[in-house]
Structure 1
């Protein structure tokens, strides 16, 4: 059975179905028997990849300054990996670590036939296939099993609903029966319930669907005509907006407005940021999780994102001290300027008063 400690993101990630339902146009909802129509996003793309692969044509990926693949080639890769997850790895394995090494090697070789990759990318690519494989199993459970498991009376109208694999996918019947048995087990139902509770406990779920943070960043860079990395607090905001650019709820808007206020303070030079205690951490009021970087796509570590001054923690302390000293001096300078302006205004008023008194004396004489 899937171990929640190995992949807690299965029920927690909003974009868990990335690359999975791109071919779902025309499928049937098992509870209503109605056809589900949706825009086909991946079929044409995948056909072209396969045709080019047969011809020996490989796709070149494009990378940002953090070494992440971006743009259209990245979306094509994600689509292709989703297909690999569905077609090359059996859904009967309990977790990704149970998949035979030979199967993983075949997946890696196949992806290399379609894309220009190097050995250093193997771990990341295979990890993505694993995520999509788990997402595919979650999708199958949610779409084709859960309605009948939670509402057994539906089986009265369709008694073989759980016995036959979905026609859309080439899943052998024996594999499907094993998969269904495991998903119906009490152990898995308890695990699933726990993951749903964890997912529901998220305070600020992102609204970007299948768009990852690196894609949001790439789109913003394209719009602004820059290639420099964009602050993660800005990406965090954008991931909580709908397609029209509006916040989905008032709570997200309050956080977004607070981020804007601190961005203004940064521009004015009045904000202290040290290490992970940047704008996003200050607004959310929670320390950075050691395993991930909020507002960034998977694979970005704190070492990658937070640039620390030479000297480690002592260097950070020295930087903070120097910054605070600079701010203190700035406040003193501003106060002196205000004081000088006030004294000048008093002198001007005194001179004006004295001139009026002198004029009054001269008029009396």
Structure 2
């Protein structure tokens, strides 16, 4: 008991020099990490892994999304030294170790390894920022020489090097420059650690309730959800002039889109126009951290409404989760089909038992952007084989990964079709075709 009291007394003395209001979020982050670490530890001890759901953007969602995000942060901050200046300085062997520890507790997708390590880098950088903000200096401005008692893995020599690096005049000048730059950001994002995926799921559910069909959740609706509040009258309000201006621009562009004046999808969509920042590659706004234009992915659903069977072909691998949105929409369509035709075809049931199957179709290489061409080949092969079903092991004599020549064949077919179609249009318009 005396030992516990001594530790508690020591912690109170240490925390007296910390601004409690500033450290509140940091403390919550630490407690979340301890809780999740215990949860994952139990899973590892029982030789099981926590399952993850992946949405259409290949980002985790559902029950274990937050725990997974927190665990990535815990592993990154405890396994990677705070004395690497930048994430690219971390050795590959250490990155492999980080990924392996994360994969011990969760069922992760190998093709999302790069995304997972990118998330780890962000959480590691955020941890170093918290150390500089809450632990580097005491309330009187004096440098804290003793290591942070809360983080047992940070030993005194490591802390000494950290304080020596981040208290130099050169670093203080850089830090002041970034603080000045951050003050220019006057948009009010209200999502906190939940991320844009949280708001995307909210918008998706609202659209489904309204029976509005969509191929992907519109980014501008997600942005509005993440940057606004709702008053007592149920009206959307913005808390600063910048967001209000963007919100009004979005409403104007939505009206133009409904009238057919502009497109509402693609890189130069409504949000990009409202922000006056067309997406040209790299990070995509209002879809969540780590999402790029490369993450937009093609998949194929082959539907047999007569039998209530759907074959789901995903170039990223059959082990991946089926899109929840696609499953709900297709199931609804099969049920409506049965209600429409069951009078003519007796074997159709009023509420058909719908089966989803995931054949082992050819898989695109990691970081490949050829998913659209893979889907085209799936369609060609399904038609050419003249089967009423797609075998679980896929069709015979088809390689596990398409060779470049097979991809080029699809490109040539598509190019020929488009050019031929354009010639017909030109002839109908009375233009000379050369």
Deviation at 1:228, TM superposition (A): 4.9
Deviation at 1:127, TM superposition (A): 1.6
Flag the 1:243–1:54 CA change in 2: closer, same or farther, 3 A.
farther
Task: Please state whether the residue corresponding to 1:48 is helix, strand or coil.
Answer: helix
Following the alignment from structure 1 to structure 2, what is the Cα–Cα distance between the partners of residues 138 and 63? 29
- What is the match of residue 267 of structure 1? 258
User: Within 5 Å, which residues of 2 pair with 1:68-83?
Assistant: 68-83=59-74
Flag the 1:113–1:285 CA change in 2: closer, same or farther, 3 A.
closer
Following the alignment from structure 1 to structure 2, what is the Cα–Cα distance between the partners of residues 306 and 99? 30
Q: Is the 8 A contact 2:136 2:144 kept in 1?
A: yes
Q: Is the 8 A contact 1:49 1:114 kept in 2?
A: yes
Deviation at 1:132, TM superposition (A): 0.8
- What is the match of residue 108 of structure 2? 117
- What is the match of residue 23 of structure 1? none
Instruction: Return the match for 2:182 from 187, 194, 199.
Output: 199
Following the alignment from structure 2 to structure 1, what is the Cα–Cα distance between the partners of residues 269 and 99? 38
Tell me which protein shows more helix as a share of its residues.
1
Q: Is the 8 A contact 2:220 2:250 kept in 1?
A: yes
Deviation at 1:190, TM superposition (A): 2.1
Flag the 1:115–1:273 CA change in 2: closer, same or farther, 3 A.
closer
Following the alignment from structure 2 to structure 1, what is the Cα–Cα distance between the partners of residues 84 and 104? 26
Deviation at 1:203, TM superposition (A): 4.8
- What is the match of residue 196 of structure 2? 213
Does residue 177 of structure 1 match 2:160?
A: yes
Flag the 1:209–1:32 CA change in 2: closer, same or farther, 3 A.
closer
Deviation at 1:209, TM superposition (A): 1.4
Following the alignment from structure 2 to structure 1, what is the Cα–Cα distance between the partners of residues 295 and 43? 35
Q: Give structure 1 stretches of 5+ with no counterpart.
A: 1-26, 156-160, 326-365
Q: Is the 8 A contact 1:28 1:34 kept in 2?
A: no
Root-mean-square deviation (Å): 3.4
**CA distances 1:12-38 after superposition (whole Å, capped 9, x unpaired):** xxxxxxxxxxxxxxx936344789667
Q: Is the 8 A contact 1:217 1:229 kept in 2?
A: no
Instruction: Return the match for 2:15 from 18, 28, 31.
Output: 28
Following the alignment from structure 1 to structure 2, what is the Cα–Cα distance between the partners of residues 173 and 34? 26
Does residue 145 of structure 1 match 2:112?
A: no
With the length of structure 1 as denominator, give the TM-score of the two structures.
0.67
Q: Is the 8 A contact 1:92 1:179 kept in 2?
A: yes
Instruction: Return the match for 2:89 from 95, 98, 107.
Output: 98
Instruction: Return the match for 1:231 from 193, 209, 218.
Output: 218
Instruction: Return the match for 2:146 from 153, 158, 164.
Output: 164
Stretches (4+) displaced over 6 A:
none
- What is the match of residue 355 of structure 1? none
Q: Is the 8 A contact 2:264 2:270 kept in 1?
A: yes
Flag the 1:79–1:286 CA change in 2: closer, same or farther, 3 A.
closer
- What is the match of residue 258 of structure 1? 249
Task: Please state whether the residue corresponding to 1:239 is helix, strand or coil.
Answer: helix
Q: Is the 8 A contact 2:41 2:105 kept in 1?
A: yes
Deviation at 1:92, TM superposition (A): 1.2
Following the alignment from structure 1 to structure 2, what is the Cα–Cα distance between the partners of residues 101 and 269? 50
Task: Please state whether the residue corresponding to 1:207 is helix, strand or coil.
Answer: coil
Q: Give structure 2 stretches of 5+ with no counterpart.
A: 1-13, 299-371, 373-413, 430-434
Flag the 1:233–1:305 CA change in 2: closer, same or farther, 3 A.
farther
Moved more, 167-176 or 289-298: 289-298
Following the alignment from structure 1 to structure 2, what is the Cα–Cα distance between the partners of residues 274 and 212? 22
Instruction: Return the match for 2:239 from 224, 228, 248.
Output: 248
Flag the 1:187–1:36 CA change in 2: closer, same or farther, 3 A.
closer
Q: Is the 8 A contact 1:213 1:296 kept in 2?
A: yes
Flag the 1:37–1:68 CA change in 2: closer, same or farther, 3 A.
closer
Following the alignment from structure 2 to structure 1, what is the Cα–Cα distance between the partners of residues 226 and 219? 10
Q: Number of paired residues? A: 281
Deviation at 1:270, TM superposition (A): 3.2
Flag the 1:118–1:36 CA change in 2: closer, same or farther, 3 A.
closer
**CA distances 1:129-157 after superposition (whole Å, capped 9, x unpaired):** 11111110011001112556xxxx543xx
Larger radius of gyration: 1
Does residue 276 of structure 1 match 2:261?
A: no
By relative contact order (CA 8 Å, sep 6+), the higher-ranking structure is 1
Deviation at 1:288, TM superposition (A): 3.1
- What is the match of residue 133 of structure 1? 124
Following the alignment from structure 1 to structure 2, what is the Cα–Cα distance between the partners of residues 243 and 180? 44
Flag the 1:260–1:125 CA change in 2: closer, same or farther, 3 A.
same
Flag the 1:287–1:229 CA change in 2: closer, same or farther, 3 A.
closer
Q: Is the 8 A contact 1:71 1:218 kept in 2?
A: no
